[in-house]
Amino acid sequence: MKITHKIVENHGLRNDEFENIKKLLKREPNLLELGIFSAMWNEHCSYKSSRYHLKKLPTKGKQVIQGPGENAGVIDIGDDDAIVFKIESHNHPSYIEPYQGASTGVGGILRDVFTMGARPIALLNSIHFGSPDHPKTKSLLNGVVSGIGGYGNCIGIPTVAGETKFNETYNENILVNAMAVGHAKKNKIFYSKAKGINKSVVYVGSKTGRDGIHGASMASAEFDENSEEKKPTVQVGDPFTEKLLLEACLELMKDNSIISIQDMGAAGLTSSSVEMASKGDLGIELELDKVPCREENMTPYEMMLSESQERMLIILEDGKEKHAEEIFKKWDLDFVVIGKTTNTNKLTLKYKNKVEGEIPLDTLSSKAPVYDRKWVKKKLTKSKIDTEKLKNIKIEDALIKILSSANHSNKSWITNQYDQMVMCDTAQRSGSDAAIIRIHNKEKAIAVSVDSSSNYCNAHPLTGGKQIVCENWRNLISVGAKPLAITNCLNFGNPEDSKIMGEFAECLIGIKEACEFLNYPVVSGNVSFYNGTNKKNISPTPVIGGVGLIQKLNKPISHQFKKDKSIVIVIGKTFGHLEQSVLFEEVYSIVDGHPPEINLTNEKNNGENVLEIIKKDLVNSVHDISNGGLIVALAEMSMGSNYGVKINKPKNLTNLFKYFFGEDQGRYVLEVDKNNLEKVEKILKNNNIFYENIGFTQKDYFEIQKELKIDIKELYKINNQWYNNY
């Protein structure tokens, strides 16, 4: 077949990239080879537009065993225990086919984790939808939530935390980011790097079908009016088969049979074979007529580019084939030796004893294009926020408006569809600042959380990047965990647009600065570009997933008030920042101005002191102050319990809206027993931490002196009414 410009374009490659391929090969590729280049050179696999910036992120630390570059990141939590985790996007597939897109997103991220030798112990997600009144939102929401729950519940991994947000920027391009966390022993971590010549390359798992062909390429292109035609590129998942695959892999990992292992994710057999061989500086030869297929007459092209789910590629030690086969056959899974490692440094593809493709591996990996794309800084516009508007509304009415909105309403109607307690190690589930998972049969536990803030990032990407890291840091601190490391999923529009590339570059600078200052390295992640439809890009939406360690879990710390007549303390200074605030967005539909300043010194000092107070068992509850400000944080603490609060009028800020709704960063609310107050104040004073005693807890009512008094039950009802009316 003659390769035309149209064929090249349909494979997501530019003409200059095609010319480069011909130079590297010193000939024109055939269709199979072109498909392989298309898969390996797209954004999803090559990170060609992001790699230049990603390499600037801090990725090392005493706690880091494995940083970016493998299937997942690995951190040390002591006692020979390791935590393996990663977050990835499945945005485009989920928009086209919500249930299967979300479902296979969960399946794929789970394979990334257990491929490393870890048993998955928790799932999280960050999902973003368009405006609630958009005609597609309801069906997309239902499909995605059902897909996440369907896969996680069936495979038996608890979905313990996440976030669901609505904004018109996602009307034609939703975001579905899935995170998985696993537990392994430090001396039993498995990697994808191939070693040795003439080693057996083994295909295990499900059979290969035609689903998902060009899935990776599709994820690296914008949508248009023909997006429905891309449904065949969406993979179809089977959680029951994945459960069998998980158990079979973990069983084989108990001995010394495996040299390397790689999940067949994006780009399927292509990416798994290329990555394993290129990392090991070896070649690999595959006999494609041996690939188990569930459909008749599949071509080498289809086999190499299929993204059928629940499949692995394994390189075995000599003589281990029979032993490994027995394990996989026991679990009723395919096990076929389909190739071998070579010393050629080439990907050689045979079909019926004929070489159908042969490509030097460095052309697919180290020689893949890397672009330092032009980018421009975000220009700050003058704020149109007019605080005079606040004279026309009462504090109570503003609070009710926020708590009854789509973004700030109770999301338990979503989380209740997920099994959060399976495996019996969930100590604290969704609804708190972070979920807590016990390490099985140990005193210690980990805390996990995911966070994003597209408004802040859209207004000023650098500040927004810092803020997300700090928000995630605070969420872990609030449950008594020492933050250890993060994974990120960077969702942006078209990188060929210098403004979009500027958003990406500046967000990365912000993430870098915060991670470095907080000693909070990035150990894994994913970049999702081309999120947009018909040239309309989404707002920049980087998502941060964080993991922290609780050395000894006595009692989980949550955000709900626990007792009557406890003292309520605010850590951190309140200046009353209302630009980009929830108050103006929900009450006046105004999203404008600069995000709140991020003082990293204050973030670190405040957080470390709150953590010390928690460790000394001096607090009943803790909650970080974020979107919506102090009043929303206090309302959330009240609604989750039988206790409300009575708050005194502030002494410092005369504008009550600024005080209660301001979104100044680095702040926490602490509930402290009277008999512990002196001890807490001593710690704060000794470390020069600003704090305010703002009131006390009480039964039944949420109250601000002379401003409002609402029954907690009524507050809870208000917070639940959005879903009931939707």
Query: Could you tell me the strand order of the sheet in which 482-491 lies?
Result: 426-428, 435-438, 445-452, 541-550, 482-491, 522-528
Phi, psi for 82 (deg, rounded to 5): -135, 150
Residue carrying structure tokens 């915060």: 514
Q: In whole angstroms, give the CA distance from residue 666 to residue 668.
A: 7
Task: Indicate the angle between helix axes 98-114 and 239-252, nearest 10 degrees.
Answer: 10
Task: Indicate the angle between helix axes 239-252 and 321-330, nearest 10 degrees.
Answer: 150
| Residue closest to 457 by CA, chosen among 537, 525, 539 | 539
3-state secondary structure of 594: coil
Amino acid at the residue 511: I
3-state secondary structure 368-427: CCCCCCCCCCCCCCCCCCCHHHHHHCCHHHHHHHHHCCCCCCCCHHHHCCCCCCCCCCEE
For residue 90, indicate whether it is catalytic: yes
Q: In whole angstroms, give the CA distance from residue 668 to residue 571.
A: 5
- Two structure tokens written together for 485: 């490391």
Q: In whole angstroms, give the CA distance from residue 283 to residue 261.
A: 16
| Residue closest to 535 by CA, chosen among 164, 124, 221, 117 | 221
Q: In whole angstroms, give the CA distance from residue 255 to residue 613.
A: 44
Amino acid at the residue 539: S
If one counts every other C-beta atom within 10 angstroms of the C-beta of residue 23, the result is: 10
First to last CA, the chain: 53
Q: In whole angstroms, give the CA distance from residue 302 to residue 32.
A: 9
Contact between 561 and 618 (Cβ < 8 Å): no
For residue 44, indicate whether it is catalytic: yes
Q: In whole angstroms, give the CA distance from residue 605 to residue 59.
A: 22
- Two structure tokens written together for 278: 């290129």
Amino acid at the residue 1: M
Q: Which residues contact 361 (CB under 8 A, 6 or more apart)?
A: 274, 277, 278, 283, 284, 345, 346, 347
Amino acid at the residue 163: E
- Please state whether 221 falls in left (phi above 0), alpha (psi between -120 and 50) or beta: beta
> Apex CA 200: angle with CA 198 and CA 203, to 5°?
145
Burial class of residue 457 in the structure, from the number of CB atoms within 10 Å of its CB (0-12 exposed, 13-18 middle, 19+ buried): buried
Task: Indicate the angle between helix axes 498-518 and 461-478, nearest 10 degrees.
Answer: 40
Q: Which residues contact 280 (CB under 8 A, 6 or more apart)?
A: 193, 194, 195, 260, 341
From 44, 53, 92, 183, the catalytic residue = 44
Contact between 399 and 703 (Cβ < 8 Å): no
From 90, 92, 183, 460, the catalytic residue = 90
Catalytic residue positions? Answer: 44, 90
